[in-house]
Amino acid sequence: MPIKWVLHWQPNAGHTVNSQILAEVSQCVESINGVKEGKWKATLSFYRPVMKEQANPAEFPRDFLGISLPEQPNKYYFVLRGQRLVVEADSTIQTIMEKLQSYKTRVALNFEGFQYQLGDFQLRVGKVVSIQSESLRGIVMEMEYKPISSWEKSHKIMGEFFDIWQEALSKRPLPGHFVHMEPNFGEFGLSGQYTLQHTAVQYATIMLQMIATAQSVRN
């Protein structure tokens, strides 16, 4: 499937993310001939183990995430970041998890927004909203190049597209910038051919960063 880079918004020190930034970003996409196509939505859940008595919390994995992605609505992806594990499961697994009561959702996030076509590229701009509080927690973007699915072969062209995007965005006075972090897919046992597992891992990777950012703002 097509290569995708997931980017997240890194606000400058002392600033937060707000809907004004989101609007500017969307306008910028349209200024480079992006054609708005429709909406997209993904969800992410942070799980925490349900502790029985006398259980040692340290034994249980901490970074346990579950992600549902719009490309495959009937699949659900689990990522154990610490252990470098990613698994694709049927979406009915969520029912099983509720029945098992072994892990519960600590935080649930929605990623939603619009998607745009730029020739062979597809861009998605999305706000990160906490389901519980409905507050804007961040901004993510997905950059997709549809013709090829090899991570290695596409790296240069994605890099140039990222630079073009950064350049277009830098013309607007915004307090922050987009960051691309490249996880080590090999550690997760993933091949060079892009899959939704790769997307799940990218989301899991940026979550850590976003949480750290949010915490530093709070402090």
Partner 1 sequence: MQHHHHSQPPLQSAGDLIASPPESQATSTDAPPKQVALAMDRLANAARLIADIRLGADRLLEALFIAGEQPHQSGSNKPLNLIVQEGASMRQYLQDLRTIGRQLQDSGVLNESLRSRSNSWGLHMPLVCPDGAVVAYAWKRQLAGQAGASAVDRTRLALKAFTDQKRRFFPHLDDKSVDGPVSKKQRGTHTSTANQQEEFSDLKTVSDVLTELEKEIAEVKTSTYQRLDWLKRASLLPNDTFDESPKDHNNFQSSRNIISESRGAVIAAQIGVIELLIPSVFRAVISLHPTGSLHPDAVAFFSPDEGGSYVHARGVSTFNVFRNITEHAAMAPQHFICVNAETALYKLLLWICSYQTLFTKVCSKCGKLLSMDKESALLLPPVQRPYRNFSVSKNLSQNSSTKDQSMNDIPAYHIGCFPQE
Interacting residues toward partner 1 by CB under 8 A: 1-2, 33, 118-121, 146-150, 152-154, 156-157, 160-161, 164, 192-193
Based on CB atoms, which residue is closest to partner 1, 82 or 119? 119
Q: How far is CA 29 from the centre of its chain?
A: 19
Sign of CA dihedral 214, 201, 85, 71: positive
CB 4, min distance to partner 1, A: 14
Tell me the helix, strand and coil percentages in the chain, rounded to 5.
30, 40, 30
Based on CB atoms, which residue is closest to partner 1, 151 or 188? 151
CB 160, min distance to partner 1, A: 5
C-alpha span between 192 and 207 (Å, rounded): 23
Spatial contact of 11 and 151, defined as CB atoms under 8 Å apart: no
Based on CB atoms, which residue is closest to partner 1, 147 or 189? 147
Based on CB atoms, which residue is closest to partner 1, 71 or 120? 120
Based on CB atoms, which residue is closest to partner 1, 78 or 194? 194
SS3 label, residue 185:
helix
CB 168, min distance to partner 1, A: 11
In Å, what is the CA distance from 63 to each residue of 18, 51, 109? 27, 15, 15
**CA-only gyration radius of the chain, Å:** 18
